[in-house]
Amino acid sequence: MKFNQFDGKKVLVTGHTGFKGSWLTAWLLRLGSSVAGLSDRIPTSPAHFNEARMSGRLTHHIGDVRDLGLVSRLIKETQPDFVFHLAAQPLVRRSYLDPHLTIETNVMGTANILEALRLAQHPCTAVIVTSDKSYDNVEQVWGYRENDALGGKDPYSASKGAAELIVKTYAHSYFSAADSPVKVAVGRAGNVIGGGDWADDRIVPDCVRAWSRGESVEIRYPRATRPWQHVLEPLSGYLMLAISLANDPNLNGEPFNFGPPAHQNFAVAELLDSIKEHWPGATWKDVSGTSSFHEAGLLKLCCDKALHKIGWRPVMDFAETIRFTSSWYRSFYESPDIDVWGLTQHQIAEYELFARERCAIWATA
């Protein structure tokens, strides 16, 4: 399998204590990488990172990506072959309440990673994780392509678009030579679900928190549609992008969308009704019109570039995505002594099996 190329490699994951970062760390450890993580804290309680007792399995650094000196020292000490930059303030509602923190973390945090890589001049391939919200969302019915305009009506979206401009500048100004030791690319993903997310103001975490206490949940935007995908899908995209970029300098500075197939755009209400089927007694209430914050109603990604340039495509359908997500949380809430590390590894193994059966290039080649 192509991902065997991570075996024995040194990898730095920023945001490793978060939802996506902890799954990525779990997968890289499974692939045989030696992982160092940098995060400013454990962002939630409970947290996947803690529940799976991950701190002893990697080199765990608590620190702030806004601190250039710290980031530079860490990159010089670690000398990573790969960097996956996920550390961010990732919540739209929080970005309205604290725009400056969001912009500092997401824009300057990204600039600091790139500057530290520029100064270190150590051979390294970096994937910077942004979002489908980087696009100027005009609520079009077709998917955004990588050359569509960036924008963002809320501070979070704007910060991710701005981070991308910084990546483009560094790629163009400092890392463009064919023999540049540093290569960088951008991964844009959509709305990710999966076990182990307990962030505030996200649909699935809000629901499982309420449902595990036997409560109903209030939903502000039940008709909004999103490109829902299981967390392992964009992670396979980031891993595939890193391997491809390491071998092909033409990908340097390029952004890539990682989303579900076009028909897998479901409304929030459909998502919740599907999860409810796996969660006896779960209920939700439509409270649309009660929020003063703007949220996009429609958002889709076109992932043709990832397919044609790096051979990536999603593996699971909507029903499997729902099953993976529901069964992870139900196992967690129903079996207090469950081995969470084992649960996560089991799902990664099942996902790899699907990928092999469905001939995903990273799983077969």
Ligand X SMILES: NC(=O)c1ccc[n+]([C@@H]2O[C@H](COP(=O)([O-])OP(=O)(O)OC[C@H]3O[C@@H](n4cnc5c(N)ncnc54)[C@H](O)[C@@H]3O)[C@@H](O)[C@H]2O)c1
Q: Give me the residues that bind ligand X (CB under 6 A), please.
A: 15, 17-21, 39-41, 43, 64-66, 86-90, 105, 109, 129, 131, 189, 191-192, 199
d(CA 197, CA 207): 11
As beta bridge partners, residue 36 has 12, 59
d(CA 355, CA 2): 12
Residues written for the chain:
365
Q: Check whether the bond before 46 is cis (ω within 30° of 0).
A: yes
Nearer to ligand X, 168 or 356 (CB): 168
Least separation in angstroms between residue 189's CB and ligand X is: 5
Least separation in angstroms between residue 158's CB and ligand X is: 13
Nearer to ligand X, 131 or 225 (CB): 131
Taking a C-beta distance cutoff of 8 angstroms, is the pair 27, 13 a contact? no
**Run of H or E including 100:** helix 99-103
Least separation in angstroms between residue 209's CB and ligand X is: 15
Q: Residues with Cβ < 8 Å from 365, sequence gap 6 or more?
A: 1, 2
Nearer to ligand X, 1 or 91 (CB): 91
Least separation in angstroms between residue 234's CB and ligand X is: 8
d(CA 135, CA 43): 26
Nearer to ligand X, 10 or 61 (CB): 61
Query: Torsion angle, CA of 240/244/246/247, rounded to 10 degrees?
Result: 150
Least separation in angstroms between residue 195's CB and ligand X is: 13
Query: Pairing relation of β-strands 266-267 and 225-226?
Result: antiparallel
As beta bridge partners, residue 128 has 85, 186
In angstroms, the first-to-last Cα distance of the chain is 5
Residue nearest to ligand X (CB): 18
Least separation in angstroms between residue 247's CB and ligand X is: 24
d(CA 365, CA 267): 35
- DSSP three-state, residue 298: coil
Least separation in angstroms between residue 62's CB and ligand X is: 8
Nearer to ligand X, 66 or 183 (CB): 66
| Residue that has been written with the tokens 């997500």 in this structure | 325
Least separation in angstroms between residue 156's CB and ligand X is: 7
Nearer to ligand X, 176 or 232 (CB): 232
Least separation in angstroms between residue 330's CB and ligand X is: 20
DSSP letter, residue 106:
I
Least Cα distance to 27 among 232, 240, 220 occurs for 232
Taking a C-beta distance cutoff of 8 angstroms, is the pair 199, 146 a contact? no
Nearer to ligand X, 1 or 101 (CB): 101
Nearer to ligand X, 176 or 293 (CB): 293
Nearer to ligand X, 299 or 315 (CB): 299
As beta bridge partners, residue 267 has 225
